[in-house]
Amino acid sequence: MSDFGILSCGVYLPRGRLDRSAIYNANRWFAPGLKSLARGHRAIANWDEDAVTMAVEAARTCLDGRDRAAVEGLTLASVTHPFADRANAGIVKEALNLSDGIVALDAGGSMRAATSALRDALEGSRTRLCIGSDLRKARPASEAELVQGDGAAAILVGRGTPIARLVASHSVTVDFVDHFRASGESFDYQWESRWVREEGHLAILADAVQALLAEGKVAAGDIDHVVLPIAAGGTVKAIARKLGLKDGAVVDTLSAEIGDTGTGHPLLLLASALERASLGERILVTGFGQGADVLLFEATEAIADHRPQRTVAACVEDGVADDNYMRFLFHRGLIDLERGIRAELDQKQPGTTLYRKRTAVLGLVGSRCTVTGTVQFPPSAISVDPNGRKQGTQEDYPLADRTARIVSYTADALGYSPDPPTYYGTLDFDGGGRLVTEFAEVGPDDVEVGRAMRMVFRIKAEDEQRHFTKYFWKAVPLNEGEA
């Protein structure tokens, strides 16, 4: 048996869950027809998150406990890359503190970019990290605003002890325009849904699945888990009937709980299927967009020991209900609020400084004196130990995955913040090291001296004059059992 296949997976969902009824109630005067979609919640990213930050968090879960030096490649699939001409995958690579020698590239242009990247990785020989991540904008009072969600998923492919192996794959490419977004535009243009269902999902996608089953000589009724990342539940049922899938085989699309997370949704549902799969069970994954990708996997003996750091179910359950539709619109840049003169700052990022300090800024790598053991951030060639100012004795000391505890904190309601007040403070890391940084997703009941925190990769600021996003690490409270 081949030792090449899926080694691990990881997902990330923002904690915010916007109540769809809040969207409908705000727009019912204009679009009463949205009522049928006004049930459940959609996952919403915070103001300091984007496709890159969510990709980092999904990848960290995927790589938990693994040797990152073994990763030889990284692909970030998204239709909402923050940068059009800067390697978004390169930012993820720096945040994960991966080797400079890896291959990192962006994939996009289609909602099936992640499944195409996964197929390419599985047909290669490198240990490769495939990530799908999206934070899409939708026009207010549109169906997409209610149906979509934010999130990311990562799959690690390579040699070792795979939890699932690729049995067969099939792809078709046709210029079927179910929706599109021109370069420089903010919103997708959607085509008529019935035509998309009949000619797209029930023809192109279903035919691709049937072609794979015929090539692999596998009966549809023998598939144990089927990933159909389609928001419309009626369409999913219609495809299942046409293909002859057995009852219960279709993996829950999680549309009611989080929405359609875009490019990464097939990988997220694959991760969900792997959490429930048993030895020998078959998992069929589909991706749709200007054609279709179909991949058939079989779970191996190692699936019994598959224990992800954060399961899909745990990420879904960790959501916090939110009915503040106005805040959602503001954070999406869909309405403008008076921000005051304190927001008038020049956030220019010198490229030279970012390059020289990229390991510290993007990777949160400090230094440790090999003589005294003193840990410090930012790193320096000279130890800060007052009793041992050693020089040239420092080694890299990554801090991002270490637990930190609050030494002191402040809630600043005077300075500008997209989500006031701004919480920040001093942290001491377990094992040494001290850092002053912002906190994310906290309120007055979430911070206290001694509270255990974990670091997350987030947007630090936006240079609105030059349209450059600055990233750094913030602290969020550890959940129970994580400390």
- Co-location of 63 and 172 in the same domain: yes
The residue segments making up the domain with residue 378 are 365-398
> Which region among 25-29, 248-252, 309-313, 478-482 has the lowest average model confidence (pLDDT)?
478-482
- Co-location of 254 and 131 in the same domain: yes
pLDDT for the residue numbered 482:
61
User: Does the residue 431 lie in any domain?
Assistant: yes
- Co-location of 166 and 195 in the same domain: yes
- Which pLDDT band holds residue 480 (cuts at 50, 70, 90)? low
| Tokens 């000619």 sit on residue | 199
Question: What is the residue type of 2?
Answer: S
Residue 419 to residue 204: CA distance in whole angstroms: 44
Instruction: Look up residue 420 and give its two tokens.
Output: 């006031």
- Co-location of 95 and 239 in the same domain: yes
User: Does the residue 341 lie in any domain?
Assistant: no
User: Does the residue 429 lie in any domain?
Assistant: yes
Pairing of strands 16-19, 320-322: parallel
- Co-location of 102 and 215 in the same domain: yes
- Which pLDDT band holds residue 348 (cuts at 50, 70, 90)? confident
Averaged pLDDT for residues 450-477: 95
- Co-location of 295 and 319 in the same domain: yes
- Co-location of 357 and 371 in the same domain: no
Residues 74 and 89: beta-carbon distance below 8 Å: yes
Instruction: Look up residue 285 and give its two tokens.
Output: 């994954």
- Co-location of 85 and 156 in the same domain: yes
- Co-location of 322 and 447 in the same domain: no
Residue 359 to residue 367: CA distance in whole angstroms: 11
- Co-location of 111 and 70 in the same domain: yes
Residues 411 and 445: beta-carbon distance below 8 Å: no
pLDDT for the residue numbered 2:
75
CATH of the domain at 99: 3.40.47.10
Query: Which residues make Cβ contacts (< 8 Å) with residue 295, sequence separation at least 6?
Result: 115, 118, 119, 122, 166, 168, 169, 284, 285, 286
Averaged pLDDT for residues 212-229: 96
CATH of the domain at 356: 2.40.50
User: Does the residue 143 lie in any domain?
Assistant: yes
Highest mean pLDDT among 104-113, 300-309, 345-354: 104-113
pLDDT at residue 23 tops 60: yes
User: Does the residue 186 lie in any domain?
Assistant: no
Three-state SS for 233? helix
Which of 380, 398, 416 delimits the end of a domain? 398
Instruction: Look up residue 76 and give its two tokens.
Output: 């970030």
pLDDT at residue 1 tops 60: no
Residues 443 and 407: beta-carbon distance below 8 Å: no
Instruction: Write out pLDDT tens, residues 128-167.
Output: 999 999 999 999 999 999 999 999 999 999 999 999 999 9
User: Does the residue 167 lie in any domain?
Assistant: yes
- Co-location of 312 and 377 in the same domain: no
- Co-location of 465 and 317 in the same domain: no
Instruction: Look up residue 404 and give its two tokens.
Output: 């930190």
pLDDT at residue 189 tops 80: yes
User: Does the residue 340 lie in any domain?
Assistant: no
Number of structural domains (the chain) is 3
Q: Please report, in angstroms and rounded to a whole number, the separation of the first and last CA atoms in the chain.
A: 39
User: Does the residue 342 lie in any domain?
Assistant: no
Cis peptide upstream of residue 420 (ω within 30 degrees of 0)? no
